[in-house]
Amino acid sequence: MKVDVLLGLQWGDEGKGKVVDVLTPKYDVVARFQGGPNAGHTLEFEGQKYVLRSIPSGIFQGNKVNIIGNGVVLDPALFKAEAEALEASGHPLKERLHISKKAHLILPTHRILDAAYEAAKGDAKVGTTGKGIGPTYTDKVSRNGVRVGDILHNFEQKYAAAKARHEQILKSLNYEYDLTELEKAWLEGIEYLKQFHFVDSEHEINNLLKDGKSVLCEGAQGTMLDIDFGSYPFVTSSNTVCAGACTGLGVAPNRIGEVYGIFKAYCTRVGAGPFPSELFDETGDKIGALGHEFGAVTGRKRRCGWIDLVALKYSVMVNGVTRLIMMKSDVLDTFDTIKACVAYKVNGEEIDYFPYDITEGVEPVYAELPGWKTDMTKMQSEDEFPEEFNAYLTFLEEQLGVQIKIVSVGPDRAQTIERYTEE
């Protein structure tokens, strides 16, 4: 058996949570491979809305194994709040969720360091969510991290050493803070975590594959936020690309099967950083209003723009995408004209590839297509798609070189249409 990978192809917020929930019935296992509570996956079904931050989106399907992999960073306090809310709504976790011993813990002082570092940058802020993600990954790569498995081995000593080191840094930054409430909630989270099944997730996943079980690997954020291949330095602190599934779960590259790449019919971005196709006019405001573009975790308003096919082709390439999934098609239902960025103009020269730096001097070059001017939210099969929408799909497939297999026409689980295009 091979693992399939599902990930975002833009700057995050593509709708991964809904798609994992839709695809989960086909799989025995859903495993999260990177990121932390800075990611928010929103799912809506049966009149309820859920936001998952650290817990895999397969948790709503009974009898599935859900794994938080070693590549994830976990905040015990936020995890406790998320898990208790899910259990209160009737979704049992303890028998469904396994946590890698090698996953790193976000400490209370990591969150304070996050705020201190951002404050020190002044106008050069990256736009972090303030959840302590960056400092936690920094400790990981500098070999100073505290891991889930440490809860079972000399935990108090390891935590005290890490805390003391962080407080020394905060002292050097002259940053004032109060740790009391954060630490209290965090330690309560540690006690809560002890109720869950800690595993060597690399062994568990490979043994499950050996037993013929199907595994879906779930990514967080988006490809353009990848620490290596995103719009650096305005990126997250982990590898959000397909390769991150190998390092974040312990599966070999030759075990990767299908790679599902998710994108919106337009484009959004939260926080600071370059965004070549961003709209600063009424059209951008309209897309944001129709798409309810506010961050699931931060509540921040998302910046909106037309789809960027230069960046999207780059994402398809670095991930080896085999299946495309387009979200929020219905948001564009009322537009007369749909635009798509097909090239960049940089210093007067037109290029069709994603360059080293897009922070300034990049002008989008657009192709224009007729809008479909049709309410798609009630549609249940591709036979109902208007001609103009089919033309948009065909245009995107020609540009990207990969078929769009699934189209979302609304937020609910049921508003998802599988296309039966020929191979």
Instruction: Give which of 41, 19, 9 is closest to 308, Cα–Cα.
Output: 9
Q: Which two tokens stand for residue 83?
A: 């898990």
Separation CA 335–CA 345 (nearest Å): 25
Is the N-terminal amide bond of 233 cis, ω within 30° of 0? yes
Active site residues: 13, 41
The residue type of 413 is R
CB under 8 Å to 150, separation ≥6 — which residues? 105, 158, 159
Cα 100 to Cα 76, 83, 215: the distances in Å are 13, 16, 16
- If phi > 0 it is left, if psi is from -120 to 50 it is alpha, else beta; for residue 410 that is left
CA dihedral 217, 20, 100, 51 (to 10 degrees): 150
266-285 per-residue burial string, b: 16 or more CB within 10 A, e: under 16:
bbbbbbbbebbbbbeeebbe
How remote is the C-alpha of 335 from its chain's centroid?
Answer: 28
Question: What pairs with residue 303 in β-bridges?
Answer: 269
